[in-house]
Chain A
Amino acid sequence: MKVALPRIEHDRSGFCHLTDFYAALRACDSELIEVDMSSCGWFDADMCSPLGAILYKLSRKLNEVRLTNIRPDVKKILCRNGFLLNYGEERLPDSYGTTIRYKRFDSKDDKDFTNYVERRLLGRAEIPRMSQGLARKFRESVFEIFSNAVIHSQTQYGIFCCGQYFPKRHRIVLCISDLGIGIKTNIRKTLDLDLPDDKAIEWATTDRNTTKRGTIPGGLGLKLLKEFIAMNKGSIQIVSEKGYWGFLEGHVRQAVFNHRFPGTVVTIDINTADTSSYKLSSEISEEDIF
């Protein structure tokens, strides 16, 4: 089976291309899959996260995946962040210090994940010195995405992370994908609500909505993330099954794709030059919490 991969940017069309790509290959079982990248003139590094998730899922069905005709510039990007190590290439040095490595974590690897965030993301000299409040909120938001993916997706395949630092634009982009139950399916199974795929994502980002049942409450993770992104003037994009939901420059964008992503992707784009004070306007006493 041979499938072409087009130009992939971290936007709605890039995600749409990846869902089309998966639709063309999802039925493959014990096949040789050739991903022809001759027409892929650009690949946003953080999109290695959803692409890696798709290819990992295909490999688990004993398909052998080969990436062919990779253009030199794209190959450099994918070798620097370690993505192509999965497909037989060697790592290239990160000479610009702008790479955030591609890595897969098992669901129980939360300690490894926190180390990845501390060492590969926040602890690096190349990353600009963010204000203490911003760095803290950024770190917490990333942890919320990870724990959300582990809890809600119930994935067996792990969590796929990748990012990129854009020093001139003062931006860090981080993408986290899972191959578990998508948001729409989770809401349908848990609450018996049948929502369009994009509305399901909107629902999950709305205050106090939760699919959690039983003794552990939930319903805060994605809302905290959305609040932070709004204050930071960053952006967030979520793809789950056929749904696309983006919160970009303060505006919500939604779409339903023709084909589904086999899980959920969350991409955050953080403004590292943000000088907002994340200090609380009033403090809560330890005696007033319960």
Chain B
Amino acid sequence: MSNAVTINVYEIVGSELCVAASDGQKVYDQIQTALQMKKMVLLTFRNVTGLTSAFLNAAIGQLYSTFDEVTIRAGLRVRDMNPEDRALLKRVVDTAKEYFKDPDRFKKANREILGDEHGKKGSSD
């Protein structure tokens, strides 16, 4: 059994435009399964011409909830991305790392940004 697998984003989404988080979830499911099987994932974006942060958050950002950075760095490679999409993915990845390091950090930062007057608790229905 080969230890490397190529996952084709275009084939999973069925479109050159990757917009919806639900499509990102399909990509995530494939990567997650492969990484759990200790496979090296080559994720190709060939023929993909448009991406959203919502798609990338679901497809790749979410991996940081399941795997540590070392595992992801060792097991996942992206290919065929244009420079702008790589820059967007980098922002998504950096945000995800920070988010999963301390999810409550966002909440604390929010309270700091807004100050005490708006940081008070509201109804939690």
Contact = CB atoms under 8 A, between A and B. Distances in A.
A215 B98 contact: no
Contacts of B100: 217
Given A215-B62, A216-B61, A220-B91, A113 B19 contact: yes
A144 B55 CA distance: 9
A61 interface: no
27 contacts: A108-B20, A113-B19, A140-B51, A147-B19, A188-B122, A188-B124, A192-B122, A193-B118, A193-B121, A194-B120, A194-B123, A199-B118, A209-B110, A212-B99, A217-B62, A220-B57, A220-B92, A220-B95, A221-B52, A278-B84, A279-B83, A280-B83, A280-B87, A283-B83, A287-B77, A288-B90, A289-B78
Given A140-B51, A147-B21, A220-B57, A192 B90 contact: no
A224 B118 contact: no
Interface string A85-119: 00000000000000000000000101101100010
B54 interface: yes
Contacts of B88: 224
B87 to A, nearest CB: 6
B84 A280 contact: yes
B47 interface: no
Contacts of B55: 147
A73 interface: no
B89 to A, nearest CB: 6
B86 A286 contact: yes
Interface in A181-229: 188-189, 191-196, 199, 203, 206, 208-210, 212-213, 215-221, 224
B53 interface: yes
B91 A217 contact: no
B50 A143 contact: yes
Most A Cβ at <10 Å: residue of B22, B84, B98: B84
Nearest to B21: A151
Interface string B88-125: 11111101101110010011011101100011111111
Given A114-B17, A191-B107, 14 more contacts: A114-B15, A143-B52, A147-B52, A147-B54, A151-B21, A189-B124, A192-B124, A193-B111, A193-B119, A194-B121, A203-B110, A212-B57, A216-B65, A289-B86
A225 to B, nearest CB: 10
Contacts of B81: 286
A58 to B, nearest CB: 25
A85 B76 CA distance: 50
B72 interface: yes
A136 interface: yes
Nearest to A194: B122
A284 interface: yes
Contacts of B118: 193-196, 199
B69 interface: yes
B41 to A, nearest CB: 11
Nearest to B66: A215
A284 B61 contact: no
Interface string A231-270: 0000000000000000000000000000000000000000
Nearest to A206: B113
B30 to A, nearest CB: 16
B84 A136 contact: yes
Given A139-B50, A218-B54, A208 B109 contact: yes
